[in-house]
Amino acid sequence: METAESLLEEIVDLKKKLTQKEAMLRKHLNQKYEETESGPEKLTNIEIDKYSRQIIMPEIGMKGQQTLKKSSVLIVGAGGLGCPSALYLTGAGIGRIGIVDYDKVKLNNLHRQLLHPETSAGQPKVFSAVESLNRLNSFVQIIPYDMKMDRSNALNTVRKYDVVIDATDNVATRYLLNDACVLTSRPLVSGSALKLEGQLSVYNYSNGPCYRCLFPVPPPPETVTNCGDGGVLGAVPGVIGVLQALETVKILLGHKGVLSKRLLLFDGSDCSFRNVCLRDRIPSCCVCGNQPSVTALVDYEHFCGAMANDKHTKIHLLDDTDRIQAEVYHGLCTQPHILIDVRSPLEFEICHLPKSLNVPLKDLVLEQVIQQLKESIAEKCSSDNDFPVFVVCRRGNDSQKGVLALRKALHGLRVSVRDIIGGLHSWAKDVDPSFPVY
């Protein structure tokens, strides 16, 4: 009788055999391709059949498909935007596609990063992407760059490709890619997506503006929200990523109507698209202007005051004495106290600690809320010692802000307000591994 262990072993063995067979198939197809082609841009019979539905379009034709085959595209980011872009560019028959990413596949990204299966969790994104794309089209060369794009490697990487797609959606890399594309004379197809909204534009193309023409100064880091904090519906970056692929194909084929000097705004709540006209290239721009002052890449994390990724950034607003570890709180939670969870009601509904009060951070300035807290403290306080009030959030940033707000609001009361370091993530890691993490 087969056991679960034996079935798992058999599945692993079958997967290995499948990978070997796929590699043999790709080799066979590549040999056939080499045997039948008479020039680097000539299409094989298999390719003509494969791309026939777009070849018969007057906007493409055989010449256009051959152009795509000779072309190259660099996709920076193998996430929510990069996955759909890579899928459709690979399907379109772009000759060479480079994919840059240094992150690993994570389960909480797979609702929108559809190149990566669950079985790839923990693997580098670029290798997971290459494996999926090779299965889709063996005629396209997919080159992985398992690295962080920075000023030391950006120029040498960008200049190897005809068009660059910014699929990173973080400010520091956006400026880095803009400057690298200007310095190497490459068009930049830039997209972003958050919640139910997306944006798309093409920079440094056909005398249009570069990103710095529009935003010479980066936004304050605290005003920037990423998908990990604000959330995103998976289909929204899918829409923007597919449109990035479309604009890239139009650029490679020299078509009119490229989204330069315009910004496309997509609102998924009512499925509306708007085009906003952008200013022309600024002659005084420090990068693409007539007399540029930026002639080499700089430290963009320092310039933007933010890391070149969308990872969670820890803030430090409190002294160590004003904070406690999750394990320490666990030892105190049976004693009289109040635990305030400053996350939104939606997040509180996902998971929360027992007996915690949900008071969103923005509500800590409301008189009614503070009065209710004062009454609750008065009911539970039974000694002359400072009554303990603890604040928790998802990761330990907003809870620090909550401590500062509560200290101001509860001034004059005998209370001790502290936050839980690392928030609910630390609780799940150090106290209760079964606690949900999102």
Catalytically active residues are 227, 393
Neighbour order of strands in the sheet with 357-358 = 323-324, 415-420, 387-392, 338-341, 357-358
Q: Is 288 annotated as a binding residue?
A: yes
Structure tokens at 172: 């520091």
Measured in whole angstroms, how far is the alpha carbon of residue 269 from the centre of its chain? 21
Amino acid sitting at position 393: C
- Whether residue 274 is annotated as binding a ligand: the answer is no
Does the annotation list 362 as a binding residue? no
For 203, other C-beta atoms within 10 Å of its C-beta total 29
Q: Which residues contact 368 (CB under 8 A, 6 or more apart)?
A: none
User: Checking DSSP bridges between strand 188-194 and strand 163-166, what pairing results, if any?
Assistant: parallel
Q: Taking Cα atoms as reference points, which of 164, 342, 184, 189 lies closest to residue 262?
A: 189
Q: What is the DSSP string of 269-303?
A: TTTEEEEEE-PPPPTT-TTTSSS-S--S---HHHH
**CB neighbours (10 Å) of residue 110?**
17
Q: How far is CA 286 from the centre of its chain?
A: 28
**Separation CA 310–CA 231 (nearest Å):** 12
- Give the single-character DSSP code of 195: B
SS3 (DSSP) at 210: coil
111 annotated ligand-binding residue: yes
Selection from 392, 395, 419, 422 nearest residue 407 by Cα = 419
Q: How far apart are CA 234 and CA 109, in angstroms?
A: 9
- What is the distance between the alpha carbons of residues 5 and 35, in angstroms, rounded to a whole number? 45
Give dist(CA 284, CA 315) in Å, integer.
36
Does 101 count as an annotated binding residue? yes
Q: Which residues contact 38 (CB under 8 A, 6 or more apart)?
A: none
**According to the annotation, is 116 in a ligand binding site?**
no
Q: Is 110 annotated as a binding residue?
A: yes
Is there a binding annotation on residue 133?
no
The answer to whether 351 is a known ligand-binding residue is no
Beta bridge partners of 420: 324
Strand pairing class (262-267; 272-277): antiparallel
- 356: its two tokens: 């915690």
Q: Which residues are annotated as a binding site for Zn(2+)?
A: 210, 213, 285, 288
Q: Which residues are annotated as a binding site for ATP?
A: 80, 101, 108-112, 125, 169-170
Q: Which residues are annotated as a binding site?
A: 80, 101, 108-112, 125, 169-170, 210, 213, 285, 288
